[in-house]
Amino acid sequence: MTTDKKQSATITADHQCKFTTSHRKEGKCFLEVLQIITMDTDSKRPDRRAHVPVELRLYGTGRMNYACLWINHNGTHAHASGSAGGGGYHRPSAAAQEAISNAGIRLAFPIGGVGSNAIEEALCAIADALGVKDYALTRAHA
């Protein structure tokens, strides 16, 4: 992000999400998974289980990047996707921005074309907006 200000997110209630199934590209190109992970502290269960309230998968081919976003936390559910092509900018963050927007989430600072760190900051802002406490951001490559 090009500012020292903290990223924030606003989640629109009752937004009609846009998810394009062809944006999922498992097994066909690079895959990067970013997850917000927290422990489920539901007092009705004696055990604590990992819970993933926010997950973003980034896919890429030589010409296109795709992002698929899933949100599932305390009654807030959304899934959306986005894509970005062309050159001269950071396509994964542009695809992530489109997926975030398509899920009905408005970021204080748009992340499209900005870079990987901006994606991570946006996911943390989404977790904060959902009220997720004590979480960790994980990143995995396949």
- Span of 13-22, 30-39, 63-72 with lowest mean pLDDT: 13-22
For residue 103, give the nearest of 22, 10, 1, 4 by alpha carbon: 10
Q: Whole-model pTM?
A: 0.83
Mean residue pLDDT across the chain? 85
Helices (H), strands (E): how many in the chain?
Answer: 2, 7
For position 123, what pLDDT does the model report? 95
- Span of 2-11, 57-66, 84-93 with lowest mean pLDDT: 2-11
Question: Could you read off the pLDDT of 27-61 as tens digits, one per residue?
Answer: 655 667 778 888 766 555 556 678 889 999 998 88
